[in-house]
Amino acid sequence: MKDLARFIICIEAKRKDGSVKYSYGNHPSARVLAMIGGFDYNESSGVYTLYVDPRWAQIFSNREYALVDWEKRLRMRHDLSKSLQRLIGTSADEIQKYSLDILKERAQYTGRIRDFRVSLERALLELEKLEIIANPRIETSSKNQPQAVWMRLNR
């Protein structure tokens, strides 16, 4: 309970034009977004009641969160596939493009880029097989850098 009561997070949602839609935790008047809004114990019934901070309702009311398909996730064999599933779910873009350097850094992969590329290709094929993405490929960007590209399938 102590850990839940101290749990805080900063969340900022932006519109497609880059302007801020709402922000919790970054502004001095709302430094924290607490997970817990209250906690009660009814002695006569022995029932504990945990209340969530009502600001969470705004965050989730417009489905502005990433859904993880747990059935598919449990069938994943590779950690990189799981990491990419979260990345895919957080972007509203149908066509997603990420440089291999960014993906390597995000995955905290310390090996060579060519070894990471092999792992990435394996993870992309697994995500395609699970019907999370379609048409995954590694191509050269306009800046002449290797990038992974795929199409996010509808949720």
pLDDT band at 91; cut points 50, 70, 90: confident
Locate 58 and state its tokens: 């705004």
User: 68-72, 114-118, 143-147: lowest mean pLDDT where?
Assistant: 68-72
Give the H or E element holding residue 87.
Answer: helix 79-89
Residue ranges per domain, the chain?
2-61, 70-152
pLDDT band at 35; cut points 50, 70, 90: low
* pLDDT (0 to 100) of residue 132: 94
Domain 70-152 is in which class?
Answer: mainly alpha
Locate 83 and state its tokens: 């990491």
> Alpha helix (H) ranges present in 48-95?
55-61, 70-75, 79-89
